């Protein structure tokens, strides 16, 4: 069965008709398309997952600072709170946002990460999957396979909307990553293909309209903390979908709505650093702190 990634509904239908997981179908189709073996495709995804794991470990280390000096050390602070048991929501939730922060902070420090689907949203999938593996004692193989489902969701979004903040705002970056993570979590937890679609829809709906307004034009403020919010949203969406909660609006319609919202969004709110938090007095001061001049002198 050929997968075209035109709609999420078509992926769900293909999985239901063959009584297989979406990830299995995607792995098989990618191997055929790349004219290689499923094992080789799996090994490539495994390497990406291992890079995610390494990034999370590196990003939690104390003393990590970004090249600009604006960010760093928050993942370590969260990890310390987790170790003390000084958290509200427990190890699954806190661990996920800790790892999301860690990978994002490593990205800002010029470390090696996996763009999932973008560098600006790189912490969400690792935060979700690495924490699920640790806290739920899931196998590495299952977590790697869930990345194929997440990737399929990303391809559907890319085909019908976009993944870049410069085109669609942060809803296209952290929103898409959050939807991808929700899909992976639902499959990992044994949810059905339809549950995966509901998880995607719920996650993406929750972040519709999110603008891209990086302070000083850097993928740090507020991007890093939005990765933490994105993984929290993925957990929320997955929990609801697994409990049988349905999205009133189908996932494919939510994706199209995201595109229309992105198209209508002001250019000042799409990675130009001309609006939103970047235009606040503190945002302008931080710009000057980093570059030695005000935003108005850019160009």
pLDDT, residue 85, reads: 95
Phi, psi of 270 (to 5 degrees): -130, 70
Q: pLDDT by residue (tens digit) across 275-285?
A: 999 999 999 99
pLDDT, residue 297, reads: 47
**Maximum pairwise Cα distance, the chain:** 60
Residue 227 · residue 104 · CB < 8 Å:
yes
Q: What is the CA radius of gyration of the chain?
A: 19
Distances from the Cα of 2 to the Cα of 6, 144, 207, 232, angstroms: 11, 22, 31, 34
Please state which CATH class domain 8-293 belongs to: mainly alpha
pLDDT, residue 298, reads: 45
Overall average pLDDT of the 191-215 stretch: 98
| Vertex 249 angle, CA 243 and 254, to 5° | 110
pLDDT, residue 299, reads: 38
């Amino acid at each position: 069965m050929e997968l075209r990634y035109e709609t999420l509904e078509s992926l769900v239908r293909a999985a239901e008709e063959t009584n297989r997981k979406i990830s299995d179908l995607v792995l098989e189709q990618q191997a055929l398309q790349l004219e290689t073996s499923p094992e080789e495709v799996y090994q490539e995804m495994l390497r990406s997952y291992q890079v995610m794991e390494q990034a999370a470990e590196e990003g939690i280390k104390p003393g990590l600072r970004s090249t600009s000096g604006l960010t760093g050390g928050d993942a370590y602070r969260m990890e310390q709170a987790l170790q003390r048991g000084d958290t509200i929501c427990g190890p699954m939730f806190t661990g996920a946002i800790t790892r999301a922060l860690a990978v994002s902070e490593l990205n800002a420090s010029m470390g090696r990460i996996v763009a999932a689907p973008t560098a600006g949203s790189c912490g969400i999938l690792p935060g979700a999957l690495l924490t699920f593996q640790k806290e739920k004692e899931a196998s590495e193989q299952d977590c790697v396979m869930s990345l194929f489902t997440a990737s399929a969701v990303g391809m559907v979004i890319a085909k019908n909307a976009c993944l870049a903040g410069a085109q669609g705002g942060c809803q296209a970056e952290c929103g898409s990553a959050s939807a991808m993570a929700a899909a992976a979590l639902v499959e990992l937890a044994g949810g059905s293909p339809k549950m995966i679609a509901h998880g995607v829809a719920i996650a993406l709906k929750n972040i519709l309209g999110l603008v891209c307004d990086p302070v000083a034009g850097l993928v740090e403020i507020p991007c890093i903390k939005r990765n933490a919010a994105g993984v929290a949203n993925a957990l929320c969406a997955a929990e609801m979908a697994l409990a049988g909660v349905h999205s009133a609006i189908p996932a494919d319609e939510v994706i199209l709505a995201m595109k229309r919202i992105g198209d209508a969004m002001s250019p000042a709110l799409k990675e130009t650093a001309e609006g939103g938090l970047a235009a606040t007095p503190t945002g302008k001061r931080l710009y000057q702190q980093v570059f030695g001049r005000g935003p108005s002198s850019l160009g």
